[in-house]
Structure 1
Amino acid sequence: MEKYALSSDGLKIHYQETGKGNISLVFLHGWLGNINWWTNQKNYFKEKYKVVQIDLGGHGKSDKSRKNWTSKQYVDDIIAVIDNLNLTEVVLVGHSMSGGYVLETAINLPKIKAIILVDTLKDLDKLITYEQAEQFMFVHYRSDFKFAVENILPKSLFVENTPIALKQRLQKEFLQNEPELAVNVIEPLYKMEIQKIARSINIPVRAINSDTAPTNIENNRKYLKDYDCTTINGTAHYPMLEKPDEFNSILDTLLKELTKVIYQKNVS
């Protein structure tokens, strides 16, 4: 069922709710994404869990009129949906830019029991600064967004094995956005104090990453108290779309392990 929740600034946040279960999986897309990026996961997990897919502000069917783009505002988007559904046992799944936002959401929200990061925050000792993002990304988006989407972004988002149809689909979705909005919706990520936020996380954090760049597990464990990672080979930045069956199998295994931890803590 498709619904809307009001964020703290009055923006309408679109989400979809399916399935049933005591534990709720809340899926957050990456930059310029939408709830449809998680369709394979919805269909796979809806028999065992409540599945919630959210269009963050500025994305998908959510309002795009926001004036104050901050990570805190994205956190409020997520909390608005969680509160609207009265969820109590939540696992947040955040892809790409949403990795930072799900970490921040979990800091003071006890109903968040675990976090799954998807191809994001692979080395917390080597984060891209705002200045670097401006120099190597934003300037290109502002000057010629179409050229950046078709010629620059593919170098970091796709690999040779990425299906052509998927590349075309994602590029088409990207180009439906105005360049200014494309920059506005991702700028907050590079203004976050992610290392500080990570040190505040006291719940399990698991990652499902592609092998396009290595994940430094030891570096991440300096910040995240309970962190581990599983790698999917032969995918680029969208493993849940490129190899959905393998992705779902890995996520299923992680959730079974995390569910045991969640219930043990509830009993104790």
Structure 2
Amino acid sequence: MKNKIFKILSIILFLFITSCDLSEKTIDNISSNYITLNDSKVHYKEYGQGEKTLIFIHGWGCDLNTWKYQFDYFKDKYHLVLIDLPGYGQSDKVEQDYTIDLFAESVSAVIRDLEIKKPVLVAHSMGLPIAIEVLKQLNTENSILINIDGVYFDFPTDSIENNQYKEGLTQFANMFNGENYKQNVEQFCSGFITGTTPEYVKNYILSTMIETPQKVGYQSMKSLIDQKYWDKKTLKNQTISIYAKSDELPPDNANVLKTKFPNLTYIEMDSVNHFLMMEKPKKVNEILTEFIEK
């Protein structure tokens, strides 16, 4: 009788501990995984059992912790995969060319390794052109694209205007090459911080982006402005773009994006900056849920 009672209590205790463990899962305490690409390790984290898989792609100077509040919200709804791009976060920082192609290959490699058939790509900032290349590599129109304040360049077709446009972008990218790298990165980061930026977002920006190795940072920027990634070919994937409303946002931003993404849902948010998914996670997460489930 005592043995039976002991076994019952043991089962109850096990179920209690397991239940507590599940409820306390955070982006920090889930296990790390690695995949090898070009003899270097790409770090990612995976969690959840949902029918739909969300692949999170961070931007320049960031890491998978960009998506902390999306992980907390979606962890019990979907299968989540959060990736540190090569050169960032806990991924290897070896001697190689850090390009949009490389980043896209790393994301595609994780998707193939996990045998994900219809990924939902969630991309922030520089993550947008990476996600575009992933869709091309996977050659699928079934995947959903979620663009959160993504970088997008619309190169002019006129040769003179095109050269001027390229020159301006090159001057910008060159800020990340040379002795003043650290200082210029700090200046770049300050543009994402306003008087209304939450302290935890400010701390993330200043503690993460500024520590980007110069080789990784400069080559990422140099590749980002390469016109080959900004062709006029359309992507028919269902797409949502959420941008922070600001004076710097082109007034025809929605129309420009629709030339690339004809199946586009376009939203602008007030009182946020570039890291809107961290600044107003509840609002962003609700928008994403409605879009994913429709």
Is it true that 1:205 corresponds to 2:239 in the alignment?
Answer: yes
Separation of aligned partners in 2, 1:140 and 1:80:
28
Structure 2 equivalent of residue 174 of structure 1: 209
Separation of aligned partners in 1, 2:195 and 2:229:
31
Structure 1 equivalent of residue 195 of structure 2: 160
Identity %: 25
| Maintained 8 Å contact 1:232/1:247 | no
Is it true that 1:72 corresponds to 2:101 in the alignment?
Answer: yes
Q: TM-score, normalised by structure 2?
A: 0.79
| Maintained 8 Å contact 1:124/1:220 | no
Please say which of residues 23-32 and 133-142 is displaced more in the overlay: 133-142
Query: Unaligned stretches of 5+ in structure 2?
Result: 1-30, 157-161
Structure 2 equivalent of residue 40 of structure 1: 69
Structure 1 equivalent of residue 111 of structure 2: 82
How does 1:112-123 map onto structure 2 within 5 Å? 113-121=143-151
| Maintained 8 Å contact 2:175/2:181 | no
Is it true that 1:12 corresponds to 2:55 in the alignment?
Answer: no
Distance of aligned partners of 1:119 and 1:15 in 2 relative to their CA distance in 1, 3 Å threshold:
same
SS of match in other structure, 2:96? coil
1:183-239 Cα offsets, whole Å, 9 max, x none, are 12332111143442x624121111111112436111221222211211221111101
1:88-130 Cα offsets, whole Å, 9 max, x none, are 1211011001100101110242285110111014674679955
Is it true that 1:230 corresponds to 2:267 in the alignment?
Answer: yes
Separation of aligned partners in 1, 2:284 and 2:225:
27
Structure 1 equivalent of residue 85 of structure 2: 56
| Maintained 8 Å contact 2:170/2:225 | no
SS of match in other structure, 1:169? helix
Number of paired residues? 254
CA shift for structure 1 position 139: 2.5
Q: Superposition RMSD on alpha carbons, in Å?
A: 2.3
Distance of aligned partners of 1:222 and 1:177 in 2 relative to their CA distance in 1, 3 Å threshold:
closer
SS of match in other structure, 1:57? coil
> Which protein shows a greater Rg?
2
Separation of aligned partners in 2, 1:150 and 1:189:
19
Separation of aligned partners in 2, 1:79 and 1:100:
13
Structure 1 equivalent of residue 33 of structure 2: 3
Distance of aligned partners of 1:152 and 1:122 in 2 relative to their CA distance in 1, 3 Å threshold:
closer
- Specify the code of the residue in structure 2 equivalent to 1:36: N
- Specify the code of the residue in structure 1 equivalent to 2:145: I
CA shift for structure 1 position 177: 2.6
Query: Unaligned stretches of 5+ in structure 1?
Result: 258-268
| Maintained 8 Å contact 2:143/2:238 | yes
Separation of aligned partners in 2, 1:74 and 1:192:
17
Separation of aligned partners in 1, 2:167 and 2:75:
41
| Maintained 8 Å contact 1:57/1:66 | no
Separation of aligned partners in 2, 1:77 and 1:108:
11
CA shift for structure 1 position 178: 2.8
Please say which of residues 159-168 and 41-50 is displaced more in the overlay: 159-168
CA shift for structure 1 position 131: 3.4
